[in-house]
Amino acid sequence: MSNENKSSIHDFDVEMICEYFSGLKRQGPGSPDTTRKAASFITGLNKNSRIADLGCGTGTQTLTLAEAVPGHITGLDLFPPFIEIMEQNIAEAGLQERITAVVGSMDDLPFNRGSLDLIWSEGAIYNIGFRRGINEWRDYLDIGGWLAVSEVSWFTDERPDEIADMWQQAYPEIDTIPAKVAQMQEAGYAPLAAFAIPDSDWKEHFYAPMRPVQEAFLAKYGDSEAARGFIENQRWEEDLYNRYCQYYGYVFYIGRKI
């Protein structure tokens, strides 16, 4: 690929990355409006419904989801510092009765099979891969239970080499919307809705808040080559998004276990 000097996020010190993203409200593209829009497709939940938000990060979308649908939500994330911040956010919002935050991994869920009415996941299923995630998580849903996940997707069949190469390196499972919808249907869901999240969810809600965090991060860790490389990589990703956002973006996929 054309940017061999730029390492993937996985090569950097995890603690440093965690600190960077802890300073942000969101760890992935999205917005309260998008969370509410996706939630508007979900019907039939009540106060006894069991919901999981997988890869919840610091829980910004979990709080929005709790206002949009009834039921009890368990937010799960691999990184303890994110869960600590989330617990503070839950307490500040007075939502302790509605949301529980747990450290855990999306490939080893702490739920009983068939016990969930809704599995939610924004910008996180790529960590185990879309196909694997939707197939494995289905076991934890009750019949008629809902799946609502956002996943990076191609909007067109053709795309310029530069962006194709970047995604081939970062996440080869990226695919077109019809391909992802077909995967949902094959996995045993009725794929009832799919919509692309707006550009503003990336530009205003994800990348813009990063800029002051990047400045502060460089002021603190600018001596470290790894830290400088990490920030350079973030800026490169933003630049690619600005140049190629007509070719890819996050798409919310909503389905129901049949």
Binding-site member from 20, 82, 154, 221 for ligand SAH (CB under 6 A): 82
Q: Which is nearer to ligand SAH, 37 or 159 (CB)?
A: 37
Does the footprint of ligand SAH cover residue 35 (CB under 6 A)?
no
Give the N- to C-terminal CA distance of the chain in Å, as an integer.
41
| Closer of 29 and 71 to ligand SAH (Cβ) | 29
The residue count for binding ligand SAH (CB under 6 A) is: 21
Nearer to ligand SAH, 28 or 191 (CB): 28
Cα separation, 171 vs 150, in Å, equals 14
Restricted to residues 104-123, the positions that interact with ligand SAH (CB under 6 A) are: 105-107, 122-123
30 binds ligand SAH (CB under 6 A): yes
Residue 161 Cβ vs ligand SAH, minimum distance, rounded to whole Å: 27
Of the candidate spans 64-72, 77-85, 152-160, 229-237, the one that interacts with ligand SAH by CB under 6 A turns out to be 77-85
- Per CB under 6 A, the segment of 25-33, 156-164, 165-173, 181-189 that binds ligand SAH is 25-33
Q: State the minimum distance, in angstroms, from the CB of residue 12 to ligand SAH.
A: 14
Q: Does 205 bind ligand SAH (CB under 6 A)?
A: no
The DSSP string of the chain is: -TTTTS--GGGS-HHHHHHHHHTSS-SSS--HHHHHHHHTT--S--TT-EEEEET-TT-HHHHHHHHHS-SEEEEEES-HHHHHHHHHHHHHHT-TTTEEEEE-BTTB--S-TT-EEEEEESS-GGGT-HHHHHHHHHTTEEEEEEEEEEEEEESSS---HHHHHHHHHH-TT-EEHHHHHHHHHHTTEEEEEEEEPPHHHHIIIIITTHHHHHHHHHHHHTT-HHHHHHHHHHHHHHHHHHHHTTTEEEEEEEEEE-
Decide: helix, strand or coil at residue 90.
helix
Q: Segment 123-182, which members bind ligand SAH (CB under 6 A)?
A: 123-124, 127
Q: Please report whether residue 224 would count as binding ligand SAH according to CB under 6 A.
A: no
Q: Which residues does residue 51 pair with via DSSP β-bridges, in sequence order?
A: 73, 118
Instruction: Assess 26 for contact with ligand SAH (CB under 6 A).
Output: yes
55 binds ligand SAH (CB under 6 A): yes
Indicate the residue among 32 and 188 with the shorter CB distance to ligand SAH.
32
Residue 237 interacting with ligand SAH (CB under 6 A): no
**Binding residues vs ligand SAH (CB under 6 A):** 26-28, 30, 55-57, 60-61, 76-79, 82, 105-107, 122-124, 127
